[in-house]
Amino acid sequence: MSRRSRIRRHHPKHTVLRVLLSGLALTLVVTILLAGVGTAAAIGLATNWLTDLPSVTDPAAFAVAQTTKIYSADGKLLANLFLENRQVVSLDEISPSLLHAVVAVEDERFYEHNGFDAIGIVRAAVTNLRAGGVSEGASTITQQIVRNTVLSAERTDISYKRKVREAYLAYKLEEVMSKDDILSMYLNTVYYGEGAYGAESAALTYFNKSAKDLTIAEAALLAGLPQQPSRLSPYDNIEGATARRQWVLQKMYEQEYISKAEYDEAVVEKVILKRAKNLNEHGVYSAPYFVAYVKKVLQDEFGTSLVFKGGLKVYTSLDTKLQSQAEKAVGNVLNLKSDPDAALVAIDPSSGNIKALVGGRDWDTNKFNFATQAKRQPGSSFKMFTLVTALASGMPPKRMLDSSSPAVIQTGGKPWVVGNAEGGGKGYITLQQATTHSVNTAYARLAKELSAAKIVKTAKAMGITTKLEPYLSITLGGQEVTPLEMASAYGTLANEGRHYPATAVTKVVDAGGKTIFESDAEGSQAITREVAYAATQILKGVITGGTATRANIGRPAAGKTGTTQDYRDAWFVGYTPQLSCSVWMGYTPEKPMRNVHGRRVFGGTFPAQIWHDFMSAALKNEPKLNFKSAPSPKYTWKSTWDIPKTEVPLVVGMTEGSAGSMLKKADYKVTVSYAYSPSIAKGRVISQSPAGGTKVLPGATVTIVVSKGIDPSTPPPPPPPPDATSTPPATGTP
């Protein structure tokens, strides 16, 4: 029988004799190691050394750190997380050439000894005694496993005590574990340099292939690395690594693991190095901001040790196609180095699953995750929660709100003074109009009427997890939240009022194949279907004819813009029945966005454009669904026709000043125009609209026309005709 055919056989014959001889050999070794000490004393000392040993029957004692793998929803490997870059594989997933090479170079009597090589130890001991120091070692593969696992804390100890403990544990390990299992453990444990632990990671690190696909020459090169992995790395020392490979091939040939023809072919094979792209320093090669968020979620749930050492398989919600489209949408719109940062989060509202997440414009230059870590003021995009609160409280979309500016809101302390972005107001407008055109003063007065506490409660129910304070300014986005929270909360409207928490991790399987986590897709009814639909109908107008017309994607969609004071933050958060998406942009440190590509930034400009581009691509092949209709909520608050009207004072004939004062005192807005009048004195009111006595809503605008006097370009009137009784003047000479 050839050596090659015997490589995995463990010969049971003479087992009892072999054990006895091994035991005697161990005693002999101790005696030799302690030359100059009596045999009995040596045995007694060795017995003392073998106290407090770990158990070799405890699987945890041999546990090694394994690489955790993170996958996308469509099966793409997103990342490897590790403290030790290790991917444990079975012996059948490793090339036989590597098994042969390892045994040949590390432990040629592996299949003959019982944990420690008595012949090798005696030979090494004699050699070392003659040399007057340690010049030769004799650790078996089994001993190396013991040293790197159960005795790892003692691995730097070079005393005889550690060597005896190591040999004894190796002997005990082989009593309970097969040779194949021991070899498999070794090949998955040993360090090969370049951060690679185990054969699979080593094969990927040096040759970008699995361990099962290694050639004889590649296997020999890897087998030679554990001796001095740093010095022999072929990336830094190709000559040294190749020389070591040739020596391993020679050993394989001498021990009949390869033929002469195989040897001749392998020694001349060119070393071609190629590092797998998914094994860089951080283990991340796709969707880095999303992976960073997943890492945090995993560590919060399972702890750092299990995440980075436990060999987990983590399945996530990310759709790599949508992720690519999201990154492209951000990069195409913000394509200059001087541009602000941006974040985009897209969520499936029916499950809460995060389908795409962009946490910044460039991971390499800024690893801060703006999608999940950056809490910024959302501006008017937060008005949605006030709108929902109003509808849920019984206010109809046609409820009239005062839009006059400024709004002076009493708070019990210093009044809160709010102005409109465009300056003045437009009198009384409907709740729907106030939302579509994002009128601050109307919403400030609405928040006062509803109470900030109710708005906070609504926001929390819909998905805002950041702690919120019940301040009235919350309605204008005065408190900071993340883009992830906003996408999640708006998804509640898309999903008929049912909220699902934002989910990145859908399933986690441990190294043994057991599912230890699976996301619960239940969710809760945060608001009624009726309120969700009513709010959506209003927010659709923001896109079709309000502040976010750039977000129009040619299908039913709704959303809200947001721009904070001095243009420091700009948002657009919108949704369709299939997808909810938030877009934020801003500088860090914060500064005004007054000149981005030559213009000021509003929520309806760059953020709406990014949203438009992403959603158009993401939904290109999806059906154009409309939002599911629902009955109108039961409206109980005063509507348009419930607000009492008042009579407009008659001011015709009054001076401009008196007329203006009277109208303003009666809570009307006043606009003035001027005209010439042949009959009304200059400075007095010629006419008014609405006419005096007309009943209109408070806050309505009354236009007065004031006389400018007689038009100077008008010709003077003709002289009066002569008196018939008077004497006519003389017409000739006497």
Q: Which of the residues are catalytic?
A: 106, 380
Residue 496 CA to residue 462 CA, distance in Å, equals 11
Q: Is the distance from CB of 347 to CB of 355 less than 8 angstroms?
A: yes
Of 482, 481, 490, which is closest to residue 576 (Cα–Cα)?
490
Q: Is the distance from CB of 311 to CB of 510 less than 8 angstroms?
A: yes
The answer to whether the bond into 690 is cis (omega within 30° of 0) is yes
CA of 281: how far to CAs of 194, 285, 289, 722, in Å?
10, 10, 16, 114
Q: What are phi and psi of 243, to 5 degrees?
A: -60, -40
The angle subtended at Cα 598 by Cα 596 and Cα 603, nearest 5°, is 50
Residue 570 CA to residue 600 CA, distance in Å, equals 10
Residue 167 CA to residue 155 CA, distance in Å, equals 13
Question: Residue 599 gets which letter from DSSP?
Answer: B
Tokens of 538: 């209003």
Residue 31 CA to residue 224 CA, distance in Å, equals 32
Residue 266 CA to residue 252 CA, distance in Å, equals 11
Tell me how crowded residue 719 is: count the other CB atoms within 10 A of its CB. Answer: 6
The DSSP code sequence of 397-437 is TT-EEE--SSEEE--SSS-EEE-BTTBS--SEEEHHHHHHT
Residue 448 CA to residue 411 CA, distance in Å, equals 9
Which value, in Å, is the radius of gyration of the alpha carbons in the chain? 42
Tell me how crowded residue 521 is: count the other CB atoms within 10 A of its CB. Answer: 13
Residue 181 CA to residue 189 CA, distance in Å, equals 12
Helix axes 141-148, 160-176, angle to 10 degrees: 110
Residue 53 CA to residue 436 CA, distance in Å, equals 75
Is the Cα torsion angle 195, 196, 201, 202 positive or negative in sign? positive
> CB neighbours of 686 closer than 8 A, spacing ≥ 6?
652, 675, 677, 680, 705, 706, 707
> CB neighbours of 712 closer than 8 A, spacing ≥ 6?
none
Residue 570 CA to residue 604 CA, distance in Å, equals 8
b/e for 99-137, b at 16 or more Cβ within 10 A?
bbbbbbbbbbebbebbbbbbebbeebbeebeeeeeeeee
The angle subtended at Cα 490 by Cα 488 and Cα 492, nearest 5°, is 80
Helix (H, G, I), strand (E, B) or coil at 346: strand
Classify burial at 396, counting beta carbons within 10 Å of its beta carbon; exposed 0-12, middle 13-18, buried 19 or more: buried
Residue 173 CA to residue 195 CA, distance in Å, equals 28
The angle subtended at Cα 572 by Cα 565 and Cα 318, nearest 5°, is 130
